[in-house]
């Protein structure tokens, strides 16, 4: 399916979101707790 970068400051929500996406067949390439961390991961991993 799709490759994604997920971001949320709430660790429990982030873990749940990652779990749901992986169960649906998506490849979570990075998890970010801070907004400033998102762009470097998007540039590095080039998610869909």
pLDDT of residue 1: 86
Specify the number of domains making up the chain. 1
| Residue-range definition of the domain harbouring residue 25 | 3-45
pLDDT of residue 37: 96
pLDDT of residue 26: 98
pLDDT in tens, 2-36: 999 999 999 999 999 999 999 999 999 999 999 99
pLDDT of residue 30: 97
pLDDT of residue 36: 96
Reported pTM = 0.83
How far is the CA of 10 from the CAs of 16, 32, 41, 43, 48, in angstroms?
Answer: 10, 10, 18, 23, 23
């Amino acid at each position: 399916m799709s490759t994604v970068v997920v971001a949320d400051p709430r660790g429990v929500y982030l873990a749940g979101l990652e779990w749901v996406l992986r169960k649906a067949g998506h490849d979570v390439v990075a998890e970010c707790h801070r907004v400033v961390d998102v762009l470097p991961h998007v540039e590095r991993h080039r998610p869909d």
